């Protein structure tokens, strides 16, 4: 432990004199999040090929009007595909499996309630990994609800039989639609986890830098263990990255209005995410001969994982990409944040945190197995 701390203190001192870390850990992710938010703010536009289900348990005129008047025209334009589902449960199950992006649940008695002027609901169950598709579904349902109110206002006596006389309440499924990050937080979190690789990288490549500078030989000649040297070097990356992420969370909250959720949950995700990326970078470094080779490989890996993991854009919108997203730490980090976005507590990110820690253990184990090669002068 003492050796780790001595190496950590030295590395942090050296790093503090180099602005590169600040740029990669804070300035770039914050700046890009700001730019994306500026350019794509408001949801990022329409999406192509959204798969919507309709669980029409009412089959009355108001329900039919929603399907034929709102959804079918969208399908006719190729914006969406429509699928019939028998129940809310089936719809929810299919969204969780990724077969559908959102399901409209029209409850039994919907048309009767609308006709009688009683309050009723139109529920949208959405896939957490398809935020744009879910947002469009919500907008469609909201538009229909607004249309009903407008028609009611246009008929002051409220007696016209074909006009829906009652207010319609749109209900979001709490575990689905609200389990998504708003655009600002999504871009901030996506950029944060994307650049995490670059912030953590110096810890792992630092060992290779020590080798090329000749100082690794001096470290190895000292009465300290190789594992302590490796841990000390990696810990430097962990501490720097966690500090960078903390600054980023606070700065994006204050400057961009990002809503990260429960601080304890965010902290757990940040630490687990940093450890996961540290493990992976350690493994890559252990299979590289030089710092330059490791940096190149890690840059490529950061790009690929960021792309497939949804750090750059919501990959669920691209169908097949979604299947491989769960193989990336980015996906689990963002999913954990999405779990918190709906007001969830730290306990709700246990699964994402556990998966991230698995990445850390796997990468760390690979690095440890290769420690002999990594520590060769």
Partner 1 sequence: MAVLEVSGLCKSFGETLAVDGLGFSVGEGETYGLLGPNGAGKTTAISMIAGVLGRDGGEVRVGGQRHHPAGRRTKAMIGYVPQEPALYPDLTGRRNLRFFARLHGLAREEAGRRAAEVLELVGLTGRGDDLVGTYSGGMARRLNIAAGLLNRPRLLILDEPTAGVDPQSRNAIFDAVRRLTADGVAVLYTTHYMEEAERLCDRVGILDGGRMRAEGTRRELVALVGERDQVTLRAEGDLGAAVRALAAIAEAGEVSEREDGVELLVRDARAVLPRILAAVTGTGASVGSVEVREPDLEAVFLHLTGRALRD
Query: Which chain residues interact with partner 1 by CB under 8 A?
Result: 3, 6-7, 10, 13-14, 17, 213-215, 217-226, 372, 376-377
Shortest spacing between CB 2 and partner 1, in angstroms: 8
Residue closer to partner 1 by CB (options 8, 80) is: 8
Q: How many CA atoms lie within 13 A of 156 on its CB side?
A: 0
Helix or strand holding residue 245 (H, E): helix 226-251
Least Å from the CB of residue 39 to partner 1: 39
CB of 236 to partner 1, least distance (A): 13
- Which residue number, 8 or 193, has a Cβ lying nearer to partner 1? 8
Distance CA 65, CA 69 (A): 5
Name which of 15 and 51 has its Cβ closer to partner 1.
15
Q: In this structure, how many other beta carbons lie within 10 angstroms of the beta carbon of residue 5?
A: 12
Nearest to 333 by CA among 178, 205, 185: 185
Lookup: tokens for 39:
């350019």
Least distance in Å: CB of 366 to partner 1? 20
Report the distance separating Cα 324 and Cα 213, nearest Å: 39
Query: What would the DSSP string read from start to end of 72-125?
Result: HHHHHTTSEEEEE-SSHHHHHHHHHTTS-SEEEEE-TTHHHHHHHT--EEEEEE
Instruction: Tell me whether residue 19 or residue 299 sits nearer to partner 1 (CB atom).
Output: 19
Exposure of 373 by Cβ count < 10 A (0-12 exposed, 13-18 middle, 19+ buried)?
Answer: exposed
Least Å from the CB of residue 247 to partner 1: 23
Considering the complex, what minimum distance in angstroms separates the CB of residue 294 from partner 1? 20
Q: Which is nearer to partner 1, 63 or 374 (CB)?
A: 374
- The sheet carrying 102-106 orders its strands as 80-84, 50-56, 102-106, 120-126, 168-172
Which C-beta is closer to partner 1: that of 188 or that of 286? Answer: 286
């Amino acid at each position: 432990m003492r050796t780790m701390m001595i190496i950590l203190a030295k590395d942090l001192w050296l790093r503090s004199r180099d602005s590169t870390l600040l740029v990669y850990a804070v300035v770039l992710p914050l700046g890009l999040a700001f730019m994306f938010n500026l350019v794509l703010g408001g949801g990022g536009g329409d999406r192509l090929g959204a798969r919507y289900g309709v669980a029409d348990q009412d089959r009355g005129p108001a329900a039919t009007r929603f399907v034929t008047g709102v959804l079918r025209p969208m399908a006719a334009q190729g914006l969406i595909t429509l699928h019939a589902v028998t129940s809310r449960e089936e719809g929810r199950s299919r969204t969780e499996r990724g077969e559908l992006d959102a399901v409209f649940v029209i409850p039994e008695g919907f048309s009767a309630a609308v006709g009688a002027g009683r309050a009723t609901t139109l529920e949208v169950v959405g896939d957490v990994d398809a935020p744009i598709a879910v947002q469009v579904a919500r907008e469609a349902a909201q538009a229909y609800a607004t249309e009903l109110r407008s028609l009611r206002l246009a008929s002051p006596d409220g007696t016209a039989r074909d006009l829906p006389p009652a207010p319609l309440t749109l209900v979001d499924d709490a575990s689905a639609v609200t389990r998504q990050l708003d655009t600002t937080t999504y871009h901030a979190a996506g950029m944060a986890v994307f650049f995490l690789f670059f912030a953590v990288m110096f810890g792992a490549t630092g060992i290779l830098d020590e080798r090329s500078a000749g100082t690794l030989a001096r470290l190895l000649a000292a009465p300290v263990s190789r594992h302590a040297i490796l841990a000390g070097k990696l810990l430097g990356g962990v501490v720097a990255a966690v500090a960078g992420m903390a600054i980023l969370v606070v700065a994006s909250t204050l400057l961009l209005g990002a809503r990260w959720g429960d601080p304890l949950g965010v902290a757990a995700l940040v630490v687990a995410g940093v450890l996961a990326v540290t493990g992976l970078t350690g493994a890559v470094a252990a299979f590289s001969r030089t710092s330059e080779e490791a940096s190149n490989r890690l840059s490529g890996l950061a790009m690929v994982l960021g792309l497939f993991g949804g750090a750059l854009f919501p990959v669920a919108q691209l169908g097949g990409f979604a299947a491989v997203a769960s193989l990336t730490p980015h996906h689990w980090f963002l999913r954990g944040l999405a779990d918190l976005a709906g007001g969830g507590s730290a306990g709700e990110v246990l699964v994402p945190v556990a998966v991230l820690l698995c990445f850390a253990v796997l990468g760390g184990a690979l690095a440890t197995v290769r420690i002999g090669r990594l520590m060769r002068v």
